[in-house]
């Protein structure tokens, strides 16, 4: 028995890792281990022999189990010491750079416009950016020979020879969305259509892709007076100060009568201030929807009438933030955004600071 004891306690003492220790446990006190086999032999012994061998084997088993547990703890402690020695952290290293981003000013203004018009009961309508020339031109009273088609510097989609589908264009305004909305929902209606539009033009105040928000209100007795109220409400909310508007007679194929709308402003030292002074700044086009356009949208012009307007989101964003070159919106980086006061992770400010 003493031989057994010194053999197993010796081996346990020398074990270098947990796997060896587990092997030793199985070989010594496992089901078919040496000590367990010896215990099975107790049955063959005389009662006298059993009386001394039984307790001695039990004591040996307990001692081996205790030695296994103690060695296991010692091995774990040693492993932890090794790790603590090997792994360390230099808390004096500089921190990693944070990735910064911000919601683009045009997106902020887009959302702000949507929120202001929503307050006045306008729902948002959206539509495709690739349109048929019927929705983009004909339905808006701009037939094939009309000079406005050429003026709009339209991007035409490529058509393979033998492709008989109607010509498709990148929409030059969001007006086709209103035609589709009238077709789908009829009258009365009150919608705005914010979205991307495309024209082949590039200079300080034009980019080939820009953003518009157009509005349409149709009912039985809508007038230009309603249009003026809606626009003054909008500009006052957007610029955060009472803004007067001036309507000048104009011409668009899709509205009759038509008006270009200016907002009150002042020029001081080369910067424009909206809502004060004696100057005027042109910001949008508008008018009463032409009967032919109502008809194209499936709305009966003898029963319904309405106003429509269109403005450039980028343009009113430039005005609010004093940005002189439209191109800066689309090929600039965060340094430029910070210069104009757009901080990282800024969320759009809705009306009333909501
Ligand atoms: C329907 C009927 C009429 C929308 C209108 C304008 C006048 C206009 C320009 C402003 C600056 C485009 O972004 S811009 O270059 N827009 O002058 N837009 S009336 O008239 C509509 C629209 C849809 C069914």
Question: What is the CA(293)–ligand 1 centre distance, in A?
Answer: 12
pTM over 0.85: no
- What's the pLDDT band for 120 if we cut at 50, 70, 90? very high
Pull the structure tokens for residue 197.
């539009």
- What's the pLDDT band for 352 if we cut at 50, 70, 90? very low
CA-nearest residue, atom 19 of ligand 1: 286
Higher-confidence residue of 199 and 1: namely 199
Question: What is the CA(175)–ligand 1 centre distance, in A?
Answer: 7
Question: What is the CA(117)–ligand 1 centre distance, in A?
Answer: 16
The one-character DSSP state at 23 is H
Reported as type and span, the H/E element at residue 104 is none
Give the pLDDT confidence score for residue 137 in this predicted structure.
Answer: 96
CA-nearest residue, atom 13 of ligand 1: 312
For the segment 74-90, the average pLDDT, to the nearest whole number, is: 90
Higher-confidence residue of 9 and 334: namely 9
Question: What is the CA(198)–ligand 1 centre distance, in A?
Answer: 14
Question: What is the CA(140)–ligand 1 centre distance, in A?
Answer: 10
Ligand 1, CB cutoff 6 Å, lining residues: 173, 175, 178-179, 212, 214, 216, 252, 254-255, 284-287, 289, 293, 308-312
Asked if 280 and 164 count as a contact pair (C-beta separation under 8 A), the reply is no
Question: What is the CA(106)–ligand 1 centre distance, in A?
Answer: 19
Instruction: Out of 142, 175, 253, 293, give the residue to mutate to test ligand 1, the one with the largest number of ligand atoms within 8 Å of its CB.
Output: 175
pLDDT tens profile 247-296: 999 999 999 999 999 999 998 877 788 999 999 999 999 999 999 999 99
Which ranges of 124-272 would DSSP assign to H, the alpha helix?
Answer: 133-136, 147-151, 175-185, 224-239
Query: Ligand 1 atom closest to Cα of 296?
Result: 24
Coil/strand/helix, residue 133: helix
- Beta-carbon contacts of 116 under 8 Å, excluding residues fewer than 6 positions away, are 233, 234, 237, 238, 351
């Amino acid at each position: 028995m003493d031989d057994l004891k010194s053999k197993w306690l010796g081996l346990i003492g020398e074990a270098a890792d947990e796997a060896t220790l587990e092997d030793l446990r199985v070989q010594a006190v496992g089901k078919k281990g040496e000590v367990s086999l010896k215990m099975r032999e107790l049955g063959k012994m005389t009662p006298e022999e059993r009386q001394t061998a039984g307790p001695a084997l039990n004591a040996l088993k307990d001692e081996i189990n205790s030695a296994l547990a103690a060695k296991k703890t010692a091995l774990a402690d040693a492993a932890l010491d090794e790790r603590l020695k090997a792994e360390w952290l230099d808390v004096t290293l500089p921190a990693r750079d944070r990735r910064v981003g911000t919601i683009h000013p045009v997106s902020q203004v887009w959302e702000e416009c949507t929120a202001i018009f929503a307050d006045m009961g306008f729902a948002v309508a959206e539509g495709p950016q690739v349109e048929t020339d019927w929705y983009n031109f004909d339905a808006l009273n701009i037939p094939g020979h009309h000079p406005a088609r050429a003026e709009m510097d339209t991007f035409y989609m490529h058509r393979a020879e033998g492709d008989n589908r109607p010509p498709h264009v990148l929409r030059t305004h969001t007006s086709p969305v209103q035609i589709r909305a009238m077709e789908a929902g009829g009258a009365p209606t009150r919608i705005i259509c914010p979205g991307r539009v495309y024209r082949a033009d590039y200079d300080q105040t034009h980019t080939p892709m820009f953003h518009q928000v157009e509005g349409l209100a149709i009912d039985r007795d809508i007038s230009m007076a309603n249009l003026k109220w809606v626009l003054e409400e909008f500009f006052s909310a957007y610029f955060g100060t009472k803004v007067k508007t001036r309507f000048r007679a104009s011409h668009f194929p899709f509205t009759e009568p038509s008006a270009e709308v200016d907002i009150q402003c002042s020029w001081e030292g080369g910067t424009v201030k909206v809502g004060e002074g004696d100057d005027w700044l042109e910001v949008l086009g508008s008018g009463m929807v032409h009967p032919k356009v109502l008809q194209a949208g499936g709305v009966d012009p003898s029963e319904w009438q309405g106003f429509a307007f269109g403005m450039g989101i980028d343009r009113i964003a430039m005005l609010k933030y004093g940005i002189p070159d439209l191109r800066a919106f689309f090929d600039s980086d965060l340094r430029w955004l910070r210069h104009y006061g757009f901080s990282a992770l800024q969320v759009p400010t809705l009306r009333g600071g909501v």
